Copies of this chain bind each other. A is one copy, B any other.
């Protein structure tokens, strides 16, 4: 089978690629697996330490342009992970860029799927940024999407298109609303939620970090490994398990900044946790605090998705990747 990952050069794209190569394929139906023959990573740039595997094909290009998409989809594609996106603070700072990538490029990918002889399975990543404003204390599976950012707006529009394209039979789509991914490795990105990784990652590297929100601020988080598991599980579930509702709140864990730093202190010592200083950033705070931090994800549990057990587990998993 042929699988395409847009945003395949990004952090989650690379982790997903490694996971798919290791698995060797995807379950096509309960119990059966189809072998992965070709894994196309489409992105504007790739990390210098490329994954070496004869099944991988690197395609440099913008998922919003027809030319690279036409190339990638020239032969039949069985499954697509559409991860390419401009993150929250980026889409807020440059409205047109966000619309072009998060809306127009997504739509072009869906249209390209529509041209395939058999509608491919597609996983689209949405976000907790789908929610905002006057929210119930706990978000559940029927809470209305009320985005308060351009990023969230564009993601919810993508969700709606995935559902309608699926209903029309143009693709077999599944949207996973991911929590904030913690701990992201590497350098900070433009995600407004990026600080939640920074305040754990930088101190563990012996570096200082800045937290732009108060200690009591809570976030809904998921580890990178569980996020990749969720994307793979989402694409493997048979269509009838999804039914008409193609948007899912993924599982996660509610953690406050204070709880995260306390866990960091328990694992790596008080001196490590003390490398974080608080410096309020109103722009970041406005975006991040509009997102819900408490969810009940019954449907995800019923469909077999699983989250992390604790912030300690998440930090320890990050430490293991550093020493891998």
Contacts and interface: CB of A to CB of B under 8 A. Distances in A.
A95 B153 contact: no
Interface stretch (A139-147, A229-237, A307-315): A139-147
Interface stretch (A44-52, A77-85, A162-170, A190-198): A162-170
Contacts of A157: 157, 160-161
A104 to B, nearest CB: 10
A244 B147 CA distance: 11
A35 interface: no
Contacts of A245: 133-134, 146
A310 to B, nearest CB: 31
**What's the number of copies of this chain in the assembled complex?**
2
A99 to B, nearest CB: 8
Nearest to A155: B160
A148 B160 CA distance: 10
B160 A244 contact: no
Contacts of A223: none
A110 to B, nearest CB: 11
B133 A168 contact: no
A156 B167 contact: no
A303 to B, nearest CB: 16
A256 interface: no
A144 B142 contact: yes
Given A133-B244, A157-B157, A244-B133, A164 B144 contact: no
A144 B168 CA distance: 21
B142 A168 contact: no
A167 B167 CA distance: 31
Interface in A231-276: 244-245
Contacts of A133: 244-245
Contacts of A143: 144
Given A133-B245, A244-B133, A153 B147 contact: no
A6 interface: no
A14 interface: no
Contact of A153 (B145, B148, B150, B161): B161
Given A95-B168, A148-B167, A149-B164, 15 more contacts: A133-B244, A134-B245, A142-B144, A143-B144, A144-B145, A145-B145, A146-B245, A147-B160, A147-B163, A147-B164, A148-B244, A150-B168, A153-B163, A156-B160, A157-B160
